[in-house]
């Protein structure tokens, strides 16, 4: 910048003013512009951030980007961040607590403008309250705003849809990590609906699919049970806590001679599309990814620019049922 100033025969302040859109005499502006072009000058953001004590970087911390749901979410978050001129620093935690903490540390070091996080641990308690943070899905400390799908409603909805299809018995397949409250909400909604409707149900649990061998053997075991229940109770409804799990059960049930949806109706959760322009295949309780992203970025931005911080924001996004290949199509729909 000093060089530009020298070359254009003006002071650094003038160059700075020009760069920041302040009023500059037209002839001088011309000269400055020319010098910048000549010297290929680009402002150093590190110095700017240091001086201003603020950056336009937002850290986005999530378990993985390698799944339709999370990659779609990443897409929307990035898009809305970009609209407001934020850059995204991506942090993939793989649900590893240490890595999550290291991303928080990094965020503080970088003096990021804010953090958007999806974490199923108590990550947020490591974030200083002076740095704006919005959680997606889970937050239990009450210290930060939260954007979440209506998991409880989703669980209820899944049960309702299965019951509409005359299932005689329902099954929920959840995940092991019981600290993960959204999953508990899905289960609770499902169970409540079962009880309200007076239908019998079973609850199963699978480990994370990352522990592949364990996961597979558990799926196999549960599938055997489901086959047995089917033989005993007839038409059956299965609701899994994620689409990924549903895919595995679909495969395994079919391998055991079960027809889907004629014998067993199957509903997953998430509804992320693999590509931007394809349709989703299996029946699922869909999260409204775009709205979640929009809200998260909006709230974060308000926290960053606004003086008023309302940390008790709890925004619940409705879910919808998607009629796909794994449930019977109803006439009235």
Using rule CB under 8 A, residue 329 touches a copy of itself:
no
Residue 331 binds which entry of a copy of itself, DNA, none, CB below 5-8 Å type-dependent: none
Residue 166 binds which entry of a copy of itself, DNA, none, CB below 5-8 Å type-dependent: none
- Element (H or E) spanning 9, and its range? none
Scanning residues 43 to 102, which ones bind DNA (CB under 7 A)?
43-44, 47-48, 50-53
Using rule CB under 8 A, residue 270 touches a copy of itself:
no
Residue 277 DSSP symbol: T
Burial class for 129, CB neighbours closer than 10 Å (0-12, 13-18, 19+):
exposed
Scanning residues 154 to 193, which ones bind a copy of itself (CB under 8 A)?
none
Using CB under 8 A, which of 14, 35, 78, 282 touches a copy of itself?
78
Nearer to a copy of itself, 72 or 161 (CB): 72
In 3D, which of 283, 279, 247, 280 has the Cα closest to residue 265?
283
Q: How many helices (H) and strands (E) does the chain have?
A: 11, 12
User: What angle do the packed helices 12-19 and 26-39 form, to 10 degrees?
Assistant: 90
Residue 160 binds which entry of a copy of itself, DNA, none, CB below 5-8 Å type-dependent: none
Using rule CB under 8 A, residue 40 touches a copy of itself:
yes
Number of residues this chain uses to bind DNA (CB under 7 A): 24
Contact between residue 114 and residue 84 where contact means Cβ atoms under 8 Å apart: no
Q: How far apart are CA 191 and CA 199, in angstroms?
A: 10
Nearer to a copy of itself, 102 or 181 (CB): 102
Residue 14 binds which entry of DNA, a copy of itself, none, CB below 5-8 Å type-dependent: DNA
CA 85, 89, 92, 98 torsion-angle sign: negative
Binding mask 204-233 for a copy of itself (x = CB under 8 A): -----xx-x--x------------------
Using rule CB under 8 A, residue 66 touches a copy of itself:
yes
Using rule CB under 7 A, residue 28 touches DNA:
yes
Q: How much of the chain is helix, strand and coil, in % rounded to 5?
A: 45, 20, 35
At closest approach, how far in Å is the CB of 166 from a copy of itself?
29
- Number of CB atoms found within 10 A of residue 332's CB: 4
Residue 239, strand partner residues: 172, 267
Residue ranges in contact with DNA by CB under 7 A: 1-2, 9-14, 16-17, 19-20, 23-25, 28, 43-44, 47-48, 50-53
């Amino acid at each position: 910048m000093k060089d530009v100033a020298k070359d254009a025969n003006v002071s650094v302040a003038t160059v700075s003013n020009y760069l920041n859109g302040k009023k500059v005499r037209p002839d001088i502006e011309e000269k400055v512009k020319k010098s910048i072009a000549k010297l290929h000058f680009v402002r150093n953001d590190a110095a700017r951030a240091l001086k201003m004590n603020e950056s336009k970087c937002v850290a986005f911390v999530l378990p993985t980007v390698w799944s339709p749901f999370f990659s779609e979410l990443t897409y929307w978050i990035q898009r809305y961040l970009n609209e407001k001129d934020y850059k995204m620093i991506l942090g993939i935690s793989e649900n590893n607590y240490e890595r999550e903490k290291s991303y928080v540390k990094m965020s503080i070091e970088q003096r990021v403008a804010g953090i958007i996080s999806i974490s199923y641990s108590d990550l947020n308690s490591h974030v200083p309250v002076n740095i704006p943070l919005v959680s997606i899905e889970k937050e239990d400390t009450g210290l930060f705003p939260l954007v979440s799908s209506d998991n409880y409603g989703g669980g209820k909805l899944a049960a309702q849809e299965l019951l509409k299809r005359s299932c005689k018995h329902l099954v929920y397949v959840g995940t092991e990590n019981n600290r993960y409250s959204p999953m508990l909400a899905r289960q609770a909604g499902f169970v409540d609906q079962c009880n309200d409707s007076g239908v019998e149900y079973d609850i199963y649990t699978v480990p994370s699919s990352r522990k592949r061998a364990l996961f597979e053997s558990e799926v196999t075991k549960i599938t055997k049970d489901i086959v047995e229940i089917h033989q005993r109770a007839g038409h059956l409804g299965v609701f899994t806590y994620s689409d990924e799990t549903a895919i595995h059960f679909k495969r395994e049930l079919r391998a055991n001679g079960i027809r889907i949806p004629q014998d067993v109706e199957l509903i997953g959760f998430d509804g992320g599309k693999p590509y931007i322009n394809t349709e989703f295949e299996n029946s699922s309780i869909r999260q409204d990814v775009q709205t979640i992203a929009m809200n998260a970025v909006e709230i974060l931005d308000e926290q960053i620019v606004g003086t008023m911080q309302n940390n008790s924001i709890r925004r619940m996004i409705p879910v919808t049922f998607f009629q796909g290949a794994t449930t019977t199509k109803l006439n009235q729909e």
